[in-house]
Every structure is written in structure tokens, then in C-alpha cells.
Chains A and B, each alone.
Chain A
Amino acid sequence: MRTRNAIRPRKTGIMLVGILLLVLGIVMAACGLMGKSQADYYARKTNLSAGEWIDYATGKTPAPELTEEDYRGRNLNASGRAKNTVLEQLQKVTGFDKTVMPLRYVLMIIGVLAVLGGAFLLISHDVWPMVTVLAIIFYLVFLIYPLYMLLRQALLNSEGQLSFEMYEKIFSKAYYSNAIWHSLLISAVVTLVSVLIATPMAYIMSTMKIRGAGVLQILILVSSMSAPFIGAYAWIQLCGRNGVVTNLLSQIGIQLGDIYGFKGCVIVMSFQLYSLVFMFISGAFKSMDNSLIEASESLGCAGIRKVFKVVLPLMLPTLLAGALLVFMRAFADYGTPMLIGENYITLPVLVYKEFFSELGGSENLAAAISIIAIIITTGVFLLQKYIANRKVFSISALHPVEAHKAKGVRNVLAHLYCYIMVGIAIMPQCLVIFNSFRNTNGRMFAPGFSLKSYAEAFNTVSNSIWMTYLMSTISIVVIVVIACMIAYLVVRRRNVFNATVDVMSMFPETVAGSILGIALLTAFNKRPLLLAGGMFIMILSYTIRRLPYTIRSSAAILRNISPSIEEAAVSLGTGPAKTFFRVTTPMMMPGVISGAILSWIMIITELSTSIILYNPSTKTMTLEIYSQVIRGNDGVASAISAILTFSTIIALALFFRISGKKEITM
């Protein structure tokens, strides 16, 4: 592979000065802005004007006496605790402000100039170092800083001192340590079950002709793309305490075992996640050369022996990669154990409960548990990378594996197996769509069919429907822009800085959604960096979480585009930036857009981050389904789920249309 050094030795000096100026400028401008925005903030919260605050902060007037009437802000009024917080805050920032305040205009002007100067120096002969710097700043502020705050939180005790008190607590109390154990156990069992279901299925569907294989593939995809907890919800409706199947069976005298707890989590997650393993192995079959299988047969090794001696060893790296992805998903799943786990508390549930609990919860404890979860998932992630890189057999697949028609019992069994497994996986979707069209009477289902649930959904929660589409669409635009640029840096401009960007951009993949949410909340719930509770932080979290996938798919596309095409453009007199936008980007677009569509689906079906970061005005569909389910409003919940499923199907159709592919690789 060809790599090139973006920073040539001769220009390193200018480059460093440029970077320095840029960073310095941003810091100065930010400081300047901070002084002003803080004054504005306090002015909004109280009856003092910004000018009076600035006078106070610069020491011209003494600290004002605040009375109850001074507080108008929603969060502050009539709360003694909040009032104290404001005063504490004030005292903390005063020292800083006293020096910064008078200088703020100067700072801002110099800052902006420095930024412009630095940017000019960087762009003057190549635009990419500038992108590198911006990417690093982006990840430092929105990923590293929140994780640092989370870690700090985890290492503070209730008095605010550095200690391992939280960890002592976690490992001494079974309630906490059990959650870790539960999560590990569920994830391991789910992984095993998924592999056991998916491997035979992928083998059957790759080597035998199955009627309706295309439809099955789409159903598998839809089931894997659905919101995680819809499965749990559907299983409860069927086999829960008051489920349809449970009641039917008990009428004829059969008592169905309890589906709640460990068992339920494993069933629900396995049938949702086996599709990931299936896609991985199917993909491996597509890229495996049939000659290898033929060679084995012509050397006298056929049938099941061939599978174990040739096919499985070749599949093993892919199989493990898929299995570990399932492990991570199961480990991070919040919705399923919350709904069906009941007293079987897993790690994400525990974190959520500790963080938000009104009674006896501790943010520090939640942070401490989060850190443990991050360590575990990072370990698994690294293991996956290690395995994936260790034995990659690149075989040029001249003759892909073809499906042949099987005969007799083998054929019947193969069909049965695929149909039943896909049937169970897609059952939750079918059930919620079916329920969404049932007639309702209040919160109960009534005989007959109607569109009442949809009408009610649009009447009562239309905001969350539009919010979901709005925020996911904005996020995807941001993601595509950032992903293209970072992919370009990583593939075409390999150097230490861009490798750092690469690592940082991939890291969110190892952090469970709810934990990233808590980290962001911890970092950005205070002035001057108050972002919590708005649309911005939601979009930010979606962007950070979905960037790794989009960057990876974009980078893969870029690697397939020969650098000589860009060199041709450059030799014809086009600059680096123009080359990227006029030559490289158009070639990448179909692949990037199809990757983005998948990311979009994952955003609209995501729950674990949103549930931590949302406020009433940014409630999404998944959150709405969740709260309707909790409230027992099954009709509306089903209707919104159905809308979500239809959106997913339409998006998938669009994906296949644009990409021209027949399957999805993760």
C-alpha cells in the first residue's frame, strides 16, 4: 500500500507555527467568549444585568446580595441548594474572571486573528493538516475530556477526595459486583447461542439453494436493525405473565416457565444478535474461493469432514470477530434487561439506576461502574482486533461459493431450520406491526382492527416522531462530512497525528451507549460548558457513536480508489482541497451514503444514549415507545414501533438501491 507523508521535513517549521497559532487562538477566543457568555448566563438567571455582572466580576462593585426574587431561572428558583451552587460557582470563577474579564475583547480579537493566521499558514500549501488539527481538537473536547471527567468522578469519594472508595464499595457489595457478573454471563451465553444458531444457517444459505433466500436475508437484516428492546417487549407480550401464549397454554394446562430474568435476556438478545454473526459468516463465504472447497473434495475430503478441516478453520477469524461484536452489543444493551431482566440487574441498568436514582444513588458510583465497563469492553475490542489481524487469509475469490440445490431430507431440514430461526427472529416485528393495527379501547386492545393507535400516536407524540427524523438527519449530515475527511486523513495521509485521530475516532465503539451518555452529561452539565439538555448534545452523542462505523466504511472505499486518480488531478493543476471535493468525494459518495443510511437506522433505533441525554423537547421515538410500554399503553407503543420498523425497511431498500449490494457487512 502506498502511503505518503503529509508533512514534509522542509515545511515542518511553518506547520508547527501554524498549529501553535491555531490552538492558541482557539483557546484565547474561547476564554474571551467565556467571560462574556458567563455574564450573560448569570444575567439571564437573575435580576441583574450583564453589565452589572461584569462590573462585579471585574471587581468594580462588590458581590451583590442575592435574594429569593433574584432567581428567575427554572432550575434555580426557590431552591436553597441551587442558590448555594450559584454562589459557589460565582466564587470559583471570580478569580478567573477578574483577570479575564477586562481583557475579553482583546483576547477575542487576538484569538480570532491567531486562528486565522494559523489556519492560513496551515492551508497555504495543504489543507489537510488543518483538518487533522480540527479533528484532534474535536475529539479532545468531546471525547477525551468527558471520559477524563468520568474517570475523575469515579475516583472521587462522597467528600470529593481522591480515593478508591467507590471501587471498594462495588466489590464488597454483592448487589454491585453481581451486576458485573450478570452482564458477563449474559453476554457470553448470548454470544455462544448466536454463534450456534448463525453458523449452520450461514453455511446452509451459502451452499444450498433455499427458497425465498432473498426474503429471508431481508428479514434477518430487519430483525437485527430493530430497536433492541422491541424484542423484549414482544416476547413479554407473548410469553410474559399475562402473555398470549402463556394464557393459551395455561388454559390447556401447560405452565410456561418464567421468561423474565436471565432466560428472557438470553432468548431476546440471541435472536436479535445472531443476525450479526450470520452476516459476518455469509460475508466470509462470499469472499472465500470455491476452489479451496473443490480442492478439498478432489483430494478426497468431502461432507462434514470438509466443513471441519477446511471451511471452519478458514472462517474462524471472521467467526470470532462476529462473536465478539455480539458480545459487545449484548454487554451494552440497556433496554432489554431493563424490560425483561427484572431483578436480574446488568451493568448498564445498574449504571443508569445509580446515576438517576432519586434515592441513595451516587453519580460517583455510576462513574466507577462505567469505568469498569469501559475496561471490559475495551479489552474485548482489543481482543477482537488482535484476532481479526492475526490470521487474515487473503484469497482472490475467482470462483465464489455457489449455492446448489439439495435433495430429499437434507433439503427439507435445511429449509425448516432457516425458516424457523428467521421466523423467531422476525416475530417481534410482526407482532408489533400486527398490534399497531388492532382496535383499542383506552389502553386495552379491543376486538377488530383500526388505525386508532396511529391516530393517537400522531396526536400525542408527534413531536418525538419529528424530533427523531430531524436529529438523526442532522447527525447523519455531520457524520458524513466528518467521516469522509477523517477517512481521507487515515488512508491517504498516514502519520502520527492522523493515526491518533484514527484511534480516537474508533474508541467510542468500545464504550457502551449509556456510558458515553453519562460521560457527556458529566462533562457538559455545568457552565461554562453547559450543553446538556439540548438538541446539540443529542446530535453530538449520535455523531460520536456512529462515526467509527461510517469512517471505517468510507476508509474501505477510499482504499479501493487508486491514489493515481488523485495524482492525475493534482498533475493537471488541481489543489489538494479541490481534488478532494471534485475528484475523490464524488467517487466515494455512493459507498459513503449507503454506509450513512445504515448509521441513520442505528441512530433512529438507539435508546441507551438518548435515555440519558434527552429532555422533554428532544424525546425520540424509541424513548417514547419505552415510556409508553412502561405506562402500559401498548397500542401507541406498537404504532410508534411500527413506524420505526417501516422507516428501517424503507431505509434498507434505499441502501440496497444505492449501494447495489445484496448484503451488508458490519
Chain B
Amino acid sequence: MSVGIHFDHVVKKYGNNTIIPDLSLDVKEGEFFTLLGPSGCGKTTLLRMVAGFNTIEGGTISFDSQVINDIAPAKRNIGMVFQNYAVFPHMTVRQNVEFGLKNRKLPKDEINARVNEILETVKITEYASRLPERLSGGQQQRVALARAIVIRPNLLLMDEPLSNLDAKLRIEMRNAIKQIQNDVGITTIYVTHDQEEAMAVSDRIAVMNYGVIQHVSTPKSIYQRPSNLFVANFIGHSNTIGATADGTAGTLTFGNGYTMEYDNFEGVEGTREVKVSVRPEEFIIQEQGTPGVTATVKSSIFLGLMTTYFVELFNGETVEITEKSSISNIIPNGTEISLGFEKEKINVYTTDGEKSLTKGVIDDAHA
């Protein structure tokens, strides 16, 4: 039943305002695919184009090989979960869930059987006869999910479904959503601006900015080998340090004169200026005098599992470093230190941040 979705040079415009200039993308059958990006990046717009609530100004969207540009929303056989749930407030939970099945004119027995089964799956059987106003946010979300998948859609669309829930419930629900999607095996497109949530649920993630796809890959690949600086900064936290790369010698030289061997370059011939992106956990704190980037500890925060240090580099820039907390004392403010790097983890970019100069980037969008 599930379909693969193909976006072919899709364009979205509101009047003269172009939201999505030219977007191509393949979502595989049965995949949990997430559109991730800051607000206003066009991810919800794209989702609503798939659902049929937004027009498509150029290009095609197709389910398997069928172009759906001109098919009415009601005929696309899509299940959609809305940000505010959009549970019909005048119907009970059961009426909400069977709404789509009744529209499909299924026999009564089958409707009942399928509704009961899905209520069981999403664990809201005991609320079946309640009105939505007497349900909590999480329960309403489950109703919306049940209502969307009970019709056995070709495709499940979710538009920031967890953004109205509190933090604890959000984690509980995202596990539930992942679990249910796994069980049902529907192709799913999920929209969120929360990178942690995206990593937790997705098979693959597309990071978007200004209507352009920046990187498409698995959560692990996106986190470890971001295709550009925007992705590196948007997924998790990254510090950026300027350096000179020498592709022939295989070295990175920093402003204080520290030269480090680095053999993971891709497309670096001779020497050039680069930006090195280092995640807080990719620094190694060493004693003063050890070869490395010289720095001074400015302040620290003890977070239990980790300890975060704010450190001023030799050039006055501040970087954030996290270390696993140890039983010994926290490094006092003002201590001079020397920073090393976990070489295999750090990433190197062009100075404009647009292109990775590191081996191992997997990007399905620009493959």
C-alpha cells in the first residue's frame, strides 16, 4: 500500500514571493522521512503541497509513478496529523476515528473492527466515547494519529505534531509515533524544527533552509558529517575556528602556529584558508605547554553527566567545550590550557561554509 514519493523540480510561489525555488527529493517506500529546518524554511509549505492544501507552481510531485499535482486532497488517500491535532471537537473519539472510514463507505463490521484495532494500537480504547475537550493534549494527539492511519493511507503526513506538548510528553509521544509507524509500515513525512526529535524518529532527514534542501541523509551521517556549516550548526552545536589547510602535506595550521596532522581532506589541493567545525565534545583539554591551541578557561557549568567550559582562545574568540564530568575538581576559571582535537570527528569547510572539505559526507540530495 505504501508508496515512494518523488519531488521533481518543485516550485512554490506566493505571488512574486518564491518560497521554494527548485526542489528535488526522493522519499522511499515505508520510510520515516523528516523535513527539518528553522521556522520559515518552507518545510510545512512542502508538506501541505503533498497533502494538496497548497498549490504547486512548478515541477511535479508523484506517488510512485502517478503525478498527483491535480488530484483533490480528498482523493489522494493521505493520512495527515496536524500541529493542533484538528480533532473534530463535536465528535467523540470513536466518531473521529471512524470519520474517514465512513466516508469510504466501508461495511459497518469492518469499520468497527478497524477502529477497535487502531484504538488499541494507540492505547485510547478507554476514551472511545469521550469528547475531545475532555482529553489531554497527548491523548488528543493519539486520536489524531489513529484517525490518520486507520484509513490505511498510502502516505502519512505529520506537521509538527509534538510542538504543542510539554517536554516529557513529547519524548513519550515521539517514541510512540516511531513505534506505531514501525508496526504499520507506512511511508511517513514528518515536519519538525526540533533536531533532537528528528534524530529520534527518522530513518532519514532532510535539512532545509530558505526553501533549499541542504543535506539529506541518516541522522548519524548528518550529525557526524554535515554537508555544510549551516547543517553543522543547526544539528547540535558546533564551534568554528579558522585555520590553514595543506592538502599535500596533510596538515591543519591554527593561528597560534600549532600544526596538526590531518589526512581526511577531500578536494584540498595545496594550501587554502578553511573553517574547522568542532563540536563541544570533540575538544581534548590538555595541560598548558602540550602542543595545541592555547586558551584560557573563562567559566564552567556543572551539568551532572557533562561539564561545560567556556573557553577563550588565543585570538579572543570564545568556544564551548563539554567533557564528561570527573570526580576530580572542575578546572578553575583563569587556568591556561592547550586544546587538542578528536581528529576523526571534526569537519573542515570552505571559508564561506558552503562546502565540506571532509571525506565521508553522504548527501542523497546532491548525490
Contact = CB atoms under 8 A, between A and B. Distances in A.
Interface string A373-408: 000000000000000000101111010000000000
A632 B252 CA distance: 100
Nearest to A301: B103
A151 to B, nearest CB: 41
A294 B74 contact: no
A292 B86 contact: yes
A398 B83 contact: yes
A302 B52 CA distance: 13
Contacts of A77: none
A299 B100 contact: yes
13 contacts: A291-B82, A291-B85, A294-B82, A294-B86, A295-B80, A295-B86, A298-B76, A298-B80, A298-B148, A299-B74, A313-B90, A314-B89, A394-B133
Interface of B: 51-53, 72-76, 78-80, 82-86, 88-90, 99-100, 103-104, 133, 144, 147-148, 151, 164
Nearest to B163: A398
A297 interface: yes
A302 B84 contact: no
A300 interface: yes
A32 B84 CA distance: 65
Contacts of A310: 88
A298 B73 contact: yes
Contacts of B103: 299-301, 305
Given A291-B83, A393-B133, A302 B72 contact: yes
Contacts of B104: 300
Contacts of B75: 300
Contacts of B100: 299-301
A289 B86 contact: yes
Given A301-B74, A313-B90, A398 B99 contact: no
A296 interface: yes
A603 to B, nearest CB: 38
A232 B73 CA distance: 48
B74 A291 contact: no
A301 B76 CA distance: 12
Contacts of B72: 297, 302
B88 A294 contact: no
Contacts of A395: 84, 86, 89
Interface of A: 289, 291-292, 294-302, 305, 309-310, 313-314, 316, 391, 393-396, 398
A320 B105 CA distance: 32
List 10 tightest A-B contacts by C-beta distance, closest first.
Answer: A299-B100, A393-B89, A291-B86, A300-B103, A291-B82, A302-B74, A295-B86, A297-B73, A313-B90, A301-B103
A295 B82 contact: yes
Nearest to A302: B74
Nearest to B104: A300
B99 to A, nearest CB: 6
Given A298-B148, A300-B103, 20 more contacts: A291-B83, A291-B84, A294-B53, A294-B86, A296-B99, A297-B53, A297-B72, A298-B52, A298-B80, A299-B99, A299-B151, A300-B104, A301-B74, A301-B103, A313-B90, A314-B90, A391-B90, A393-B89, A393-B90, A394-B133
Contacts of A302: 72-74
Contacts of A291: 82-86
Contacts of A393: 89-90, 133
A391 to B, nearest CB: 7
A110 B44 CA distance: 73
A298 B74 contact: yes
A288 to B, nearest CB: 10
A296 B103 CA distance: 10
A298 B79 contact: yes
Contacts of B86: 289, 291-292, 294-295, 395
A432 to B, nearest CB: 41
Contacts of B73: 294, 297-298, 302
A314 B90 CA distance: 7
Interface centre among A289, A291, A301, A316 (most CB of B within 10 A): A291
A118 to B, nearest CB: 46
A289 B84 contact: yes
Nearest to B44: A399
Contact of A298 (B51, B84, B164): B51
A298 B54 CA distance: 13
Nearest to B100: A299
Nearest to A295: B86
Nearest to A290: B53
Contacts of A398: 83-84
A475 B203 CA distance: 68
A398 B90 CA distance: 19
Nearest to B55: A404
A523 B237 CA distance: 77
B144 to A, nearest CB: 8
B151 A300 contact: yes
Nearest to A313: B90
A654 B148 CA distance: 47
Contacts of B78: 298
B84 A295 contact: no
Contacts of B90: 313-314, 316, 391, 393
Nearest to A316: B90
A301 B147 CA distance: 13
Nearest to A292: B86
Contacts of A299: 74, 99-100, 103, 147, 151
A295 B74 contact: no
B88 A295 contact: yes
Given A292-B88, A395-B89, A297 B82 contact: no
Given A291-B83, A395-B84, A297 B89 contact: no
Nearest to B82: A291
B259 to A, nearest CB: 54
Contacts of B164: 396
Nearest to B102: A301
Nearest to A317: B90
Nearest to A391: B90
B6 to A, nearest CB: 20
Interface centre among B79, B84, B86, B147 (most CB of A within 10 A): B86
A301 B86 CA distance: 15
Nearest to B151: A299
A454 to B, nearest CB: 46
Nearest to B77: A300
A635 to B, nearest CB: 50
Contacts of A305: 103
A396 B51 contact: no
B309 to A, nearest CB: 37
B57 to A, nearest CB: 15
A160 to B, nearest CB: 56
B168 to A, nearest CB: 21
A208 to B, nearest CB: 16
A289 B159 CA distance: 14
A502 to B, nearest CB: 25
B10 to A, nearest CB: 19
B80 A294 contact: yes
A334 B78 CA distance: 56
B266 to A, nearest CB: 43
Interface centre among A289, A291, A299, A395 (most CB of B within 10 A): A299
Nearest to A306: B74
A295 B73 CA distance: 10
B99 A301 contact: yes
A297 B86 CA distance: 12
Contacts of B83: 291, 398
A418 to B, nearest CB: 24
Contacts of B84: 289, 291, 395-396, 398
Nearest to B74: A302
A309 B90 CA distance: 10
Contacts of B52: 297-298
Contacts of A289: 84, 86
A396 B86 CA distance: 9
A394 B133 CA distance: 8
Contacts of B80: 294-295, 298
